Amino acid sequence: MTSYVLWGILILSVILLTLVLARNPHIFQSFGYVCLHVAIGIFLLYLLNLFSPYTRLELPLNAVTVGTVSVLGIPGLMMLAALKLWIIV
């Protein structure tokens, strides 16, 4: 019984959120901007890991590293590399 109530609340909140976001025409532009930054972050991490046999530096592709590189860009990638080299060794 309790799980049905929770699922109902979840579905209702998703429907209401979709209705609120559908009224704003600029939300799709913002969503595209976020997707572009995430894709660039994934590409930069992949490129770094592609050269890992030469640099001996390997960063995992997970939500934290992709989010850091997506928000901070190349300085975020350098920060993660510095953390990997100096702290995690």
Res 11 pLDDT > 80: yes
Residue 13, both tokens: 């909140």
> Tokens 């490129």 identify what position?
47
Please state, in angstroms and rounded to a whole number, the distance separating the CA atoms of residues 81 and 87: 10
Give the closest residue to 48 by CA, choosing from 17, 20, 24, 79: 79
This prediction's pTM: 0.69
Model pLDDT for residues 53-78, shown as the tens digit of each residue: 998 889 999 999 999 999 999 999 99
For the chain, the domain total comes to: 1
- Domain containing residue 16: 2-88
